[in-house]
Structure 1
């Protein structure tokens, strides 16, 4: 009993109550939107209840972890500065802020050129997985939550379906047209994108010595296995009802459901969480683009300008919050903290130290 009390107390101390409140509110709001968006569950498919609860769990975990992540001093600093610069009237005066945002979205989110610079092969795998997952999410979640469903349209030699969004008919599509084929096979297209992407990334992880040295199963291989399982079982479902007259369909549907639910539950805890972290890097683009226009800081040793003063101030503030003290120990009392010295000044101090140790002799 004492051990249970001790564990409960330790758990309560480690729990981030602010993040818990935000996660609870976000999950409740998602639940309300599911009820309202499906017209009081009239358009909700009860067979998908497992997906729904897994999605609610994932939403809670994602918001909780994201909220905790934003409390970390470096992340909080970038987050705060990013929003300050984005809303800066000076940047909006000549519409520079929207241009920076558009460029950052294209480069960091859509094209992801930072991955291309590391390896074209890595970029290809990453883009295939990203495109497949985004397409699958755009289709799956609205259908699972009952936000989107289809009703029968005109009964003519050319039958149609009506796409219902939140209970409102928004578009009528021909049953045998190209648009309807892509609409009803979008998840198949997503699977065809994800599977080769996973194989490319897996191939690289097995042969790249740099990746092999630092990778872990739970962090690097498990998300790939889960994505492959979801895509492959979904593809098998299509093969079953399209070519095998539904043979083994029920078992495959159960297997696919478990892989999807497992992936959703894993989402807040593993590497796939970086999907939700990536948009926050847009603030870094504002930070970097604005630094060149700010007043520079001068190195106390060399007297040269080396970085914007606001950047050195932010760094000092973050280091203080993290209890990192880079003050000089054992040196002259006038020596400034290490983080306030320019790279040239640091090299000069290192040179002085070597010179002192060798009694001014470097032969």
Structure 2
């Protein structure tokens, strides 16, 4: 452990004397970023169109009634690729993105910790335990929305693209076949439990999403902290859109079963408009964090492997190779992670990257001492 040093009012030395970090490069101009993002969006959209054409066996399995949904997914693909490229072009995101993929494809990391990646995927993508530390209610509501949306996407997207179809195996009987790319996967009776689950998967997804979205909408209306910083288009519209999609989807089933199709056409149009709007909205609103969330896995994997590289992991997960604060000697984070942060600050031309080598408490002490020494002395 490094011995604590006497508190000083002087700031740490300028970053000009800091050694360069491999991979440092100046940020791209906005025009360059937009050009790359547009090319990425066009490329991904073209690939999706080709996947729809060939996956539906040259449109033989494509349902023309689902054309608006398919067009919306093409716009979704363009928007996600465009926004993601812009996001990754930022120095901080680019560095974590690069380090995360490097750790992901490292055979050495896989040999030393073969279960690390599956555990992090389950923790940060599946069960999202970090939300449980804030509130058990928020965690439960988020889980309902997450798994409901995942189930709906797994059903809706392939069905919209014509990748899998449900066809009657007898022409008039209850027997059905599910085919993917024209190949039979499973045959089932529409009147048994398997058949019910097959045809009501979207209803199950809606039942999961509605209570979760309503909880967050109620919280947005009642919680003072949430009300203070919320924006209607960014925070409330996504929740309202999820509720409208889910409710209209359930009403379609209700109409077909209990009303003999009464009002079905109006509900189908309303449901389609809500889904199309939401798909196009995803890349440019709060839903974009769905696309960003996998980056958290890369960041955690990078930090985990950096600890294994910089020092031996202890039983509690702490590492012996953590960088110590230059003032008090308390561990901050791994050396590789701090160097990565310093490189990002240099990319952004921030001339105080050496401050990253101090813990948060010592930063506050140094700032306070500097204020007393250089600012408040003028009032004596």
- TM interval, shorter chain, is 0.7 to 0.9
The C-alpha deviation readout for 1:24-49, integer Å capped at 9, x for no partner, is 11111110111111111111111111
Q: Does 1:190 align with 2:216?
A: no
**Residue in 2 that maps onto 1:44:** 62
CA distance in 1, matches of 2:362, 2:204: 56
Q: State which of 334, 350, 362 in structure 2 corresponds to 1:308.
A: 334
Displacement, 1:250? 0.9
Gaps in structure 2 of 5+ consecutive residues: 1-29, 311-320
Taking a change above 3 Å as real, the CA distance of residues 340 and 171 of structure 1, as seen in their structure-2 partners, is: same
**Residue in 1 that maps onto 2:110:** 92
CA distance in 2, matches of 1:284, 1:209: 32
Taking a change above 3 Å as real, the CA distance of residues 281 and 307 of structure 1, as seen in their structure-2 partners, is: closer
CA distance in 2, matches of 1:133, 1:113: 18
Taking a change above 3 Å as real, the CA distance of residues 346 and 261 of structure 1, as seen in their structure-2 partners, is: closer
CA distance in 2, matches of 1:358, 1:277: 42
Taking a change above 3 Å as real, the CA distance of residues 300 and 273 of structure 1, as seen in their structure-2 partners, is: closer
Q: Does the aligned pair in 2 maintain the 1:151–1:161 contact within 8 Å?
A: yes
CA distance in 1, matches of 2:195, 2:332: 59
**Residue in 1 that maps onto 2:226:** 211
**Residue in 2 that maps onto 1:220:** 235
Q: Does the aligned pair in 2 maintain the 1:100–1:285 contact within 8 Å?
A: no
Q: Does 1:338 align with 2:338?
A: no
Q: TM-score, normalised by structure 1?
A: 0.86
Secondary structure of the residue that 2:133 maps to in structure 1? Answer: helix
Q: Does the aligned pair in 1 maintain the 2:33–2:86 contact within 8 Å?
A: no
Q: State which of 273, 282, 288 in structure 2 corresponds to 1:258.
A: 273
**Residue in 2 that maps onto 1:140:** 156
Secondary structure of the residue that 2:61 maps to in structure 1? Answer: coil
Taking a change above 3 Å as real, the CA distance of residues 35 and 320 of structure 1, as seen in their structure-2 partners, is: same
Q: TM-score, normalised by structure 2?
A: 0.82
Displacement, 1:358? 11
How many pairs does the alignment contain? 337
**Residue in 1 that maps onto 2:122:** 106
CA distance in 2, matches of 1:355, 1:143: 66
CA distance in 1, matches of 2:284, 2:43: 20
Displacement, 1:154? 3.9
Q: Does the aligned pair in 1 maintain the 2:303–2:334 contact within 8 Å?
A: no
CA distance in 2, matches of 1:91, 1:191: 40
The C-alpha deviation readout for 1:79-99, integer Å capped at 9, x for no partner, is 1111222233332224x1x31
Q: Does 1:324 align with 2:350?
A: yes
Displacement, 1:355? 6.6
RCO comparison, higher one (Cα < 8 Å, 6+): 2
CA distance in 1, matches of 2:263, 2:276: 20
After TM superposition, the structure 1 stretch with the greater mean CA deviation from structure 2, 14-23 or 188-197, is 14-23
Secondary structure of the residue that 1:67 maps to in structure 2? Answer: helix
CA distance in 1, matches of 2:109, 2:328: 33
Secondary structure of the residue that 1:324 maps to in structure 2? Answer: coil
Taking a change above 3 Å as real, the CA distance of residues 300 and 241 of structure 1, as seen in their structure-2 partners, is: closer
**Residue in 2 that maps onto 1:81:** 99
Taking a change above 3 Å as real, the CA distance of residues 340 and 44 of structure 1, as seen in their structure-2 partners, is: same
Q: Does the aligned pair in 1 maintain the 2:87–2:93 contact within 8 Å?
A: yes
CA distance in 1, matches of 2:366, 2:136: 41
